[in-house]
Amino acid sequence: MSKNLKIAELSAWSIENIDRPLIIGGPCSAETEEQVLETARGIKAAGIPIFRAGIWKPRTRPNSFEGIGAQGLIWLQKVKAETGMLTATEVANAKHVELALGAGVDILWIGARTTVNPFAVQEIADALRGKDIPVLVKNPINPDLELWIGAIERLSAVGITKLAAIHRGFSTYQKLKYRNDPQWQIPIEMKRRLPNLPMFCDPSHITGDRAFLDEVTQKSMDLNYEGLIIESHCKPEEAWSDAKQQLTPKSLEELLANLVLRDPEADNEVINNTLGELRHLIDDFDQKLLELLENRMQVAKTIGHYKKENNITVLQNKRWGQILEKSLENGKKKGFSEQFINNLFKAIHQESINQQEDIMNS
């Protein structure tokens, strides 16, 4: 179904300034009328066309601040009346949709904890049937591309065409540099599957720390994302939620001014010819890699037959540990990240096990 989705371009979103990147900025949560309006004035001064604020906040643990509720929608109406900016907020169920639309909110987004639940997404989709409003869908908290695409498809099926995806990273039990693991390959695959779908980056939730916002934001631009949704608060250190990852409007303006925006394609024959030659080399290397992997699997199969004949288990933990340790050491010398080597050799090892199990069961 995804190949047949009707997705409108950003130019159809009735936004005055859609220069790349399209920015959505504002606080994690609407806390008070004063805080919302003060932040909105700063966002407007920074030249940002869309103001965001969380009205309902799905929290991991109870007794945390779970949003100001529907009264915050009145504050968004005041933001729109005073500044002329469009407004955006998160919805998690049909009642949220009804209230947000009734208050004239211009753009809705579906959060990561909702995207993971097809029942909740369908409820929202049904509530939006026949409505002409932009809807952005955050990736699910777990790294599941099919769930993410499925949410887009559910919204498309009820006639929503102003669709976009938000990459906010994926939860992990590992302690990493960022709050959420970007796993950039997943949104890259999303763009391959749905090339017309605008992609926004949410560096606030990926990093969880304003100190890293610039590097993640820049990377998203280097990957040709169309937009950014960034949390900004008039007094971040006093924020009722996610204080560490929010910027002042002025700091946000400075971050955006320092972005380097590159063209997706070169308008130069010499450059394109050079890139073509280099890509041809990569194609050759990829072919050789596949041939090497084929040869390696043939050896693994031979070992599998030997294990079967001598009643030896497929998995040899000591041997696998030696392979991984040696590969990590060699990979480090060659300038590869530990994560890359781990992922690569674990995939190779799993395929070797699969091949040997087939032999055992034949």
Contact 134, 13 (CB under 8 A): yes
Q: What's residue 264's pLDDT?
A: 78
pTM assigned to the model: 0.84
**What confidence score (pLDDT) does residue 3 get?**
61
Handedness of CA 92, 96, 101, 104 (dihedral sign): negative
pLDDT for the residue numbered 108: 98
| Bond preceding residue 21 cis, omega within 30 of 0 | yes
Q: Contact, 182 vs 139, CB < 8 A?
A: no
Distance CA 9, CA 209 (A): 32
Q: Which domains does the chain have, with CATH numbers?
A: 2-257 (3.20.20.70), 269-360 (1.20.59.10)
Q: How many CA atoms lie within 13 A of 89 on its CB side?
A: 35
Contact predicate 52/88, CB 8 Å: yes
Taking the chain (362 residues) in runs of 10, the rounded mean pLDDT of each run is 81 84 97 98 96 85 78 97 97 97 98 97 97 96 97 97 98 87 95 96 97 96 96 97 96 96 82 88 94 95 94 92 94 94 95 94 90
Beta carbons within 8 Å of 47's beta carbon, 6+ residues apart:
17, 253
